[in-house]
Structure formats: structure tokens, C-alpha cells
Structure 1
């Protein structure tokens, strides 16, 4: 006889694991809903060109792509942002703005499975559509932070602005491929970045600033006090980067001279936007952030403020959520639309979550004795109707074996129902923790079990 294993990179979840997952799903849905976000759903598979339009043809190697019977090129979704924006362009764009959306679903990537990474994985996310500027950015960041905290995990919030590093690297006089390489090296850090900047003869002031941003010191800034105080602290933080002035959001003379006027003004506008976002975050009750001007996530995708939320207890792979402001609606055939959003790795977050669920499948188990199965089933139905999870023995086991079964599952109450009990209109209720047995009138069972 053939035997079958689950496909590589996938998982099965037993009842206890599903209970923990569902408990966390409930918490996260509640967090989104408290911010006024509404849940949507999209198909598990989409047209392949939806994702190549967003990420380029090279992404196909990472996808479960296939042709259907009509030779249409489709793929299992590798992420959820592109499907949501396709849905927005197709059906939601006429709705009042801003549009607050969240979603949850499984995604698929054909990658080499490794610890904590699977070919099928689950993702929560949110998109704030049609709310340009720092106020919308701050709301999304605060929501991501709230979601991670709702899971019971300690958080570390990193916030930056893609426009700053983007403009610095574009100012290096070299070709587009080298620019892309420098982005990757900034994300990686180390001597390799320094060596590459030397090879392309980057102006010293540019090289120094880029190297400082890649260090990843991520200094903390407390979000307390009035706007002037916050901007003063922000300026002091910027002064740690060579070429940046301590008078936020200005560049010092040496770095300003490395740019044309438009580029210098664009960097200062990005710094001002980031400072304003930090001020709005304080209004959301966020106490502190790690300002990271070297965050280099998806530079072709993001256009403004970017952020990551980490759960430090997870160690080196601590990031559980990340996002920022982007323009994607136009890329997918719609009108230019300001959008800020984030994705949350559900499986990673579950590892850091403080979730405790009851393992027992029911609160009561009815044991029919000597042919009373129909009556036992009726009693169980009454208890279920009152919201008390209840099971019934379906294997005609002895009382002793039923009690062993109940004990192993952790069900707190066993209800013994035989001909004698039925004649008296009672049931014998055994408390499995104490071993105490009491007779309870059948019409009082619901009240008795509800009070526990």
C-alpha cells in the first residue's frame, strides 16, 4: 500500500497548535478593527503578470507558477499586497478615502526550506489607501506596533525614510547596476561596501555618509515633549552621520555642495517628513523608536517613510513586520494613489507570542450507560445550545474507560447517564480534578456547568 507524506516546505497543525494559531488570529483581528480597518480577501491564485509587473520577471523562479487548461499563466500568490492593490484598482477605488483595509491568508514561495521559513506561510497585512503624508504613515506604524504588542511580544520599532539613502546613492557618479549593488551592500554592511565605494571613486563626503547609514547603530529617540524638543533631539541624532547638520532637517555645507540644489532640498524634505511622522507617532502613544536612515527595504517599491518592527527575543531573525509608503496602483494599471501599508509574518510572530489556550476539546463529556445513547445525545444537545462544548461517547466503552479518556483529554466534567438516573430525572456529574461526584437534576445541568 502506498504511503504519502506532506509536500516539502509545508506543515500540518494538530488541534493544540490550531488553538494557539486561532487565539492569535483573533487578537490580531481585534487590533486591526480597533483602528477602524475592515477585512478583505483575495484569490489564492492570480495572473502571473500581476507579480512580474511589481517585482520583475526574475521573481518567477520563486513562484509556484503554472498554466491552466486554457493556457493562461497563473501563480499561487507569493504575497498579498499586489492582489490587494489589484482588487482596489478593479473594484474599490470609488469608495470614500482614506480606505482602511486588512487581510490574512496563506502565501507560497518556491524557496529552499530552512528553520522558520516555509514554502507555504501565512501573512497578515494592512493598507491605508488615499491618506498622503506623515499622519497616515504614523497611523500605519502605530497599528503595526499595536498588532505585535497584542500578541504579547516585546517590540523594537525601527523607522527611516527611503528618500534619504536613495538620493545619496544616486549622487554617486556611476551606472544603475552599480547603484543597485550599493543598495544591497548597504543592507549587508561591512568592509565590502567601503571597498566598492572606493572602486567607483565616490566623493569622500558621500561615501562617509553612506557608510554611516549602513552601520546600523539605530540610535533610540524618545518621543516626548513638544515638537521643538523632538526636532532638536532629531537633529542631534542626525549629527552622528558625517555630513548631516544638528539643525534638523538641514545638511551641512560640505554635504550640500556634493548635490545639486534640487537633490539637497529633496533630502531635507525627506528628513522633515520623517521628523513630522515621529511627532505624529507620539500622539499615538508610541514612546520611542530606533531611527534608522539606512533601512534599505525594496527601494524600487517604497517611496517615503519605511519601518520595521522587531521582536528581539527571536534573535538574529527578529523582524516580524515591515512596511512603508509606496506607489503601486499606477504600476498595476490604476491611477497614482498614495498608499502606506505593512505585512506581518504570522508564523514568525507566533514564535514570540504569549498565547495560552485551553487544550481540552470540551467542558463536558456525556457517558451513556446501558443503552442510553439517545438520551445522552439529547442532554449533550441541550448543553451545546447553551454554549457549553460537549462530547458524547460513541464507542460504547465502559465507565472506567470513558473516565480514562476524559482524564487524558483534560475535559473537566464527566456526566454519567444510565437508566436509574433517567428514572429519577438526574445525572451524575463527576469533577475530574477533585474526583467528587454529585447528582444534578437534568433541567439544572446547564446552570450547574455554566457556573464553573
Structure 2
């Protein structure tokens, strides 16, 4: 036996029994929802040329790569939005906008060693392409809330606008690497490190006060008033006012209990161009949904157009909804004597129609079947011969 024959690579996992059932149920609910909202499904290859992702915000080190028979670099799909942009730009250029697309497929990303994160992630998400503006942002967020509502027992969605942070940080005379550090400090709410980075600019820049406050600008409607007081005039104020309009509309739609404002959402600033949002569900220690506006992505493929969307981590949702892993247990097992296979399977079909889960015994004797049923916790045995008899079995809890 070879060294790695009985294990999976780090970051990859087998799914068993109830895990499979729960994940499939999550996928089916999401797919049904997206179709009912007029979205059409697309499927892209698991393998793409590396060139598709050269301008991706994902680091090359995060991608699984291989070389094809012609010496070209391929990658296992690290995200779903970029391949869909390729499809739209190459095969759907003549569509009537907006184009409503959804996907249900895995992504592959190299996670840091010992991080506990999964490298293969099942995602289900939507892309709204070609129009832009408030209505599309509202639809994307409302659809995300509907998706979480269909699969999560309790959840919230946090809203932000990347334009507010971009305007502030671009006003500071500092290197890009330092801007990246500030973004990370805000995202992780590392107040001390953030203040230390901004301190040299406090006397010459009014943006420093706002940047120091960003991790604290979290909550409900009062956040807008606080943000406008510290925001410089111009684009920063416009970003806050745009977000406030979106928030007010969602509240009018009855979604206020599901949304919060977080102006500290500053992830992937080179990718998102406007509204950004994250979704959380009770029982998960990580966000299960990411989304926002990314109007610059399609420029990379020669077809500039606005787009917005989100991706939901199906695996993360399924893990919360399936805390206990156990094999599925049938309601009964059917044993049949020689020559009664046809009657046994006809009996099984009738029981399945009535909603029961049935197994046909693989054993040659009733005693072996009873022993198996008790081990599996199956409480009923039907014996098919000249007649059909039903027996209740005593099993441990």
C-alpha cells in the first residue's frame, strides 16, 4: 500500500451520507430560487487557461496549475465570475441586456497550510450583467437575502461601498504596499496598527480621521450620519449617499431586519467598484456569501460593461445545517424467499410511493437480515414469500 493511498490531499474532503443529502438540498433550493427569478444557468470548464486570470485579484500562488500537452499553463477554476465574463464576452456579445446568469459549480483555491480551510468549495451564485445602476444593485442584494433565507435558519447581510475607502486612501501620499496594509488592518479591525500607520499623515490629511473611524462605522441607519460628518466632500460623500439610497430601498421592501451597514468592508479593492456585501449565518464562524459590483472586470475581455453579483458558499451552509454526520437509515428492510424477487420489488415500489425508505436484503437468511437491521437501527422487517408479513424489531436507540 502506498503512503497516500487512503487519505485525501490537504484541503480536500470526502462527503458522506447526510452531508451529501444536506448539500444537495441546499443546491436544489438555491437553483430553484434563481430560476424563479429569471436567471439562466451556465457551466464553465473546471480547467481554464491561466491567461483568463492574469488580472484576477487572486494571487497566482492561490491557483492550482498544471501544464497541458502543448506546454500551456492551465488552472483549476479559482473563481466563477471571471470565467463567466469570458463566456459573455466571447459567446453572448449580442444578448439583450441585462443578462441574468447563475452557476452551481466548484472552485479550487490553495489555502495556507494548517489553516483548516477547504481548497475545493461548492459555490452557487448569480451574475447580473449589462445595465448597472441602483436597480441592479438592489436586485442583487435582495436576491442574496432571498438565497440565505431559503437555506439558513438565521442570517444577516452587511453592506458597504468600496468607493468610500478608495477615495480616502487614494488621497494619501503613500506606497501601494502601505495602502494594502491599511486595508488589511481595517478589514481585520486592528485599531492599534491602523492608527500607527496613519499617524504620520494626520496633520496634513483630513482623510486620516475617516480612515481611523472606518472599523467603527458599523451598525444601522445612524452609521450614515456619522460617516457624512467625517467624509471629505466629493466622491466619498457620493458613495455614502448612494449606499444610503440602496439601504433605504431595502428597508422599504421589508428587509431591514436582515441588513447592517459596515463601511469597513474593504476586501479586494482592485476588483470591486461600488456596492459590496457579505452574508453571515448563525452557526458559521466565517462569511458564507460575498458579493458586490465589479464594473471593470469585463474590460479585461474587450467588452466593457457593468456587472454585479454574488457567490454563496454551499459547503459552509451545508456544514452548519448538518452538524451530525451519520448514515441514512431506512424505514424497513425487505427479505424475500427464492422465487419471490418480483413480488419483493413490487412491494418495495408500493412502499416507496407511500413515502417510506426501503432496503432489499442482500442476505440469504432471515437471521442474518435481522442482525443487519438491528445493527443499522432499522425497526421493521417485511418478509415476502407466499404472503407478506411485517415484523417489528427491537433496536437500541
Q: TM-score, normalised by structure 1?
A: 0.78
- Once residues 112 and 297 of structure 2 are traced to their aligned partners in structure 1, the CA distance between those partners, rounded to angstroms, is 31
* From 236, 239, 248, the counterpart of 1:279: 248
1:98 shift after superposition? 1.6
* C-alpha spacing 1:389/1:358, structure 2 compared with 1 (3 Å): farther
Q: Given the alignment of the two structures, is residue 416 of structure 1 paired with residue 386 of structure 2, yes or no?
A: no
Q: Given the alignment of the two structures, is residue 37 of structure 1 paired with residue 7 of structure 2, yes or no?
A: no
Secondary structure, in 3 states, of the residue corresponding to 1:89?
Answer: helix
Secondary structure, in 3 states, of the residue corresponding to 2:367?
Answer: helix
Question: Does the CA contact (< 8 Å) of 1:124 and 1:344 recur in 2?
Answer: yes
Q: 1:44-80 CA distances to partner (integer Å, 9 max, x unpaired)?
A: 1111111122237xx2212111111111210111121
* From 370, 376, 386, the counterpart of 1:403: 370
Question: Does the CA contact (< 8 Å) of 2:336 and 2:344 recur in 1?
Answer: yes
* C-alpha spacing 1:334/1:7, structure 2 compared with 1 (3 Å): same
Q: Which moved more, 1:9-18 or 1:158-167?
A: 9-18
Q: Given the alignment of the two structures, is residue 429 of structure 1 paired with residue 397 of structure 2, yes or no?
A: no
- Once residues 201 and 285 of structure 1 are traced to their aligned partners in structure 2, the CA distance between those partners, rounded to angstroms, is 41
- Once residues 203 and 354 of structure 1 are traced to their aligned partners in structure 2, the CA distance between those partners, rounded to angstroms, is 54
Question: Does the CA contact (< 8 Å) of 2:201 and 2:208 recur in 1?
Answer: no
Aligned pairs for 1:344-363 within 5 A: 344-353=312-321, 360=328, 362-363=330-331
- Once residues 350 and 370 of structure 1 are traced to their aligned partners in structure 2, the CA distance between those partners, rounded to angstroms, is 43
Q: 1:227-258 CA distances to partner (integer Å, 9 max, x unpaired)?
A: xxxxxxxxx533434xx33xxxxx7xxx64xx
* From 277, 296, 302, the counterpart of 1:307: 277
* C-alpha spacing 1:91/1:412, structure 2 compared with 1 (3 Å): farther
Aligned pairs for 1:85-164 within 5 A: 85-114=85-114, 116-164=116-164
Question: Does the CA contact (< 8 Å) of 1:86 and 1:332 recur in 2?
Answer: no
Match of 1:47 in 2: 49
Match of 1:449 in 2: none
- Once residues 328 and 283 of structure 2 are traced to their aligned partners in structure 1, the CA distance between those partners, rounded to angstroms, is 29
Question: Does the CA contact (< 8 Å) of 1:166 and 1:299 recur in 2?
Answer: yes
* From 279, 286, 289, the counterpart of 1:321: 289
- Once residues 203 and 344 of structure 1 are traced to their aligned partners in structure 2, the CA distance between those partners, rounded to angstroms, is 42
Question: Does the CA contact (< 8 Å) of 1:38 and 1:102 recur in 2?
Answer: yes
Match of 1:293 in 2: 263
- Once residues 356 and 133 of structure 1 are traced to their aligned partners in structure 2, the CA distance between those partners, rounded to angstroms, is 44
Secondary structure, in 3 states, of the residue corresponding to 1:240?
Answer: helix
Secondary structure, in 3 states, of the residue corresponding to 2:274?
Answer: strand
Match of 1:12 in 2: 14
* C-alpha spacing 1:175/1:110, structure 2 compared with 1 (3 Å): closer
Q: Given the alignment of the two structures, is residue 237 of structure 1 paired with residue 207 of structure 2, yes or no?
A: no
1:278 shift after superposition? 1.2
1:93 shift after superposition? 3.2
- Once residues 354 and 29 of structure 1 are traced to their aligned partners in structure 2, the CA distance between those partners, rounded to angstroms, is 20
Q: Which moved more, 1:35-44 or 1:296-305?
A: 35-44
Q: How many residue pairs align between the two structures?
A: 391
* C-alpha spacing 1:23/1:88, structure 2 compared with 1 (3 Å): same
Secondary structure, in 3 states, of the residue corresponding to 1:330?
Answer: helix
1:283 shift after superposition? 4.1
Largest Rg, 1 or 2: 1
Match of 1:440 in 2: none
* C-alpha spacing 1:410/1:27, structure 2 compared with 1 (3 Å): farther
1:431 shift after superposition? 5.0
Stretches of structure 2 that go unaligned for 5 or more consecutive residues are none
Match of 1:23 in 2: 25
1:322 shift after superposition? 1.5
- Once residues 379 and 33 of structure 2 are traced to their aligned partners in structure 1, the CA distance between those partners, rounded to angstroms, is 32
